[in-house]
Amino acid sequence: MTQPTIVDSHCHLDFADFDAERPDVIQRALDAGVERMVTICTRLRLEPQVRAIAEAYAPVFYAAGTHPMSAADEPLATVDTLIALAKHPKFVGIGETGLDYHYTADSADIQKQSLRIHIAAARETKLPLIIHARAADNDMARILAQEHRNGAYTCVMHCFSSSATLAKAALDLDFYLSMSGIATFPKSQELRDIFASAPIDRILVETDSPYLAPPPHRGRRNEPAYTAHTAKVGAALFNLNYADFAAQTTANFDRLFWKAAL
């Protein structure tokens, strides 16, 4: 019987956690049925290294942007720079960008400015925006909706772990919610309920590796192969078998990340 295939829509393969065994990590993902991975650049000055990983491994695609927690420490991105990067055949998304007031509320103004630049690039390139949102629900919902009225764009709320209100705001704009290992943690029932009430055709799965490993690997380094553990929890939420949930979330990925579609 053929193993169901699935996609890790968000990981960080350039991080030093993987330097010693990157080929093995990617092979383990393939062995687990993770047929494609999107590795995310969080500081634009590191884009060449992230791009090189995507170029070296057929199953790996990449996206680039300025992470909100780095917005005050990095040069402000420009729309033209992001559009130029997007011409690469394996560049499939804009970001991650967004707002994080949990640790970096003092840089809220520059985060908002950076976010709007990334949205403009997503609108222009027709590539999906990849959003990181933490402790900034009201500003995030307001900016996403306001900018959408200025011109449509597509978006995934990566590693979604915010409120039902922000989930609804995103879904009302036809955006996607991505399920990470957080949704598998025992204390995350409220989050699981948010996912379960969302349309199945708006759900993606990811690892955000090396962070947020799902059980039975919680507390250790995460890696793309573990996408399957999160997806099995997702399948149960939607009363689907694993193969059907894998197929549905892969179809969702292909619709949103059209440049990475097989």
Domain ranges of the chain: 6-260
So what's the pLDDT on residue 3?
Answer: 87
Sign of CA dihedral 176, 177, 181, 183: negative
The CA distance from 105 to 118, in Å, is: 19
Confidence band, pLDDT 50/70/90 cuts, at residue 262: confident
pLDDT at 4 over 80: yes
Q: Which residues pair with 155 in a beta bridge?
A: 129
So what's the pLDDT on residue 239?
Answer: 97
In the chain, the percentage of residues whose pLDDT exceeds 70 is 100
State pTM to two decimals.
0.97
So what's the pLDDT on residue 246?
Answer: 98
So what's the pLDDT on residue 66?
Answer: 98
Average pLDDT estimate for 35-56: 98
Residue-wise pLDDT for 181-200, tens only, equals: 999 999 999 999 999 999 99
Give the number of residues written for the chain. Answer: 262
So what's the pLDDT on residue 1?
Answer: 62
What's the gap between Cα 11 and its chain centre?
7
pLDDT at 45 over 70: yes
Average pLDDT estimate for 24-52: 98
Q: At what angle do helices 227-237 and 242-256 cross, to 10 degrees?
A: 110
The SS3 call for residue 7 is strand
Query: What is the average pLDDT score of the chain?
Result: 97
Written as six digits, the tokens of 5 are 């295939």
Average pLDDT estimate for 224-230: 97
Average pLDDT estimate for 225-242: 97
Output the CA angle 120-124-129, nearest 5 degrees: 60
Confidence band, pLDDT 50/70/90 cuts, at residue 2: confident
Residue 34 host element (H or E)? strand 34-41
Q: Of 3.20.20.140, 3.90.180.10, 3.20.20.70, 1.10.3130.10, which CATH number belongs to 6-260?
A: 3.20.20.140
So what's the pLDDT on residue 93?
Answer: 98
pLDDT at 7 over 70: yes
Average pLDDT estimate for 152-167: 98
